[in-house]
Amino acid sequence: MLKKLRQTAIHAANTPVFGSVLRTMEKVDVARAGDLAVVTYHRVDHADRTPLLYPGLISATPERFADQLDMLSSVGQVVSMQQVVAACRGEAELPRKAVLITFDDACRDFAEHAWPALQARRLPVTLFVPTAYPDQPQRQFWWDRLYVAIWHGRAARIHTAYGQWTLDSDEQRRRAYRALRDQVKQLPHEPAMQLVDEIVLQQQAPSPPASVLGWDELRELATQGVTLAPHTQTHPLLTQVSIDQARAEVVGSREDLQRELGGVLPVFAYPGGQCNAAVKEMLAEEGFELAFTVQRGINRISKTNRLALNRINVGQQTSVQILRAQLSVGWWGKRVAAG
């Protein structure tokens, strides 16, 4: 039922009538200086190019991504992370309808597809890097390993302490993946990774390819203008590890970037967007000034908790018009809330 309602809403948002409503809303300019929309992506690619990587992390095809960039430039003013930090420090003011573009995970297709499109339009971007992955091909993200085990494993059934799943059809594989993905996210980190290891071993699954850019590639992107920032070292959900482990991951990631680049801004993106009061307090103690969740919404820099900033996550069903609507509705909502 929820899936059907979501599909209906997506269809409605892509109709010409809804587009007309958006244009009317945009004529009444309600955005204020200090409102910040943060748009976040993971991968930009065609799924058939990387059959051993989980396709659900593809945010857009290169073609749709280019169209989204053109839209963002036309309805907002794309700003850099440096501008956002300066505004938060009171050293400058953000323009009205400020939009910050971010990417999580530093995947290889960023350099191949996303950065050339951004560079051609002279748009700044921030890339959050899980710093234990560059130049370590033996490390793969757990969601890719789980995907390969379910779609490319040898056994027709998966047996775990949390249930059993038959894998005779794509629909059964999708159901198994969703259930196991949700189970992994609920468990403490170590048992969660043990569960993935158990499934991969049981399925005798092949290894996914290395999906994260290497340090030489990241350094080259930095020289070209990409802002690199920490995203932990090994990408655990910080709410699923001890606070000491969380601190080691966060500080270690920053130190890795400082070692490789010579400097880094005091900003951070939570893996999976997950944080709690203890994690935010730890970031503050370690000198971080901004941190990003995946909670949808527009930020009012003067009032929003800067260690729990909202981001609009872009997924495969996020058409240009849907993304435009999320921005417009968000700016309207902030104006109404402010009176």
Exposure on the CB side of residue 285, measured as CA atoms within 13 A:
13
Same domain, 117 and 236: yes
Structure tokens at 200: 């991969």
Residue 1, domain member (yes or no):
no
pLDDT in tens, 295-323: 999 999 888 899 999 999 999 999 999 99
Residue 50 lies in a domain: yes
Paired tokens of 75: 């309805």
Residues 182 and 316 in one domain: no
Q: Give the residues of the chain that fall short of pLDDT 50.
A: 1-10, 334-339
Domain shared by 161 and 301, yes or no: no
Chain mean position to CA 219: 21
Q: Which of 258, 295, 267, 229 is nearest to 87 (CA)?
A: 267
Residues 268 and 311 in one domain: yes
Q: What's the pLDDT score for residue 9? A: 41
Write out pLDDT tens, residues 216-236. Answer: 999 999 999 999 999 999 999
Flag whether 16 is in a domain: no
Please check whether residue 119 lies inside any domain of the structure. Answer: yes
Q: Which residues pair with 165 in a beta bridge?
A: 158
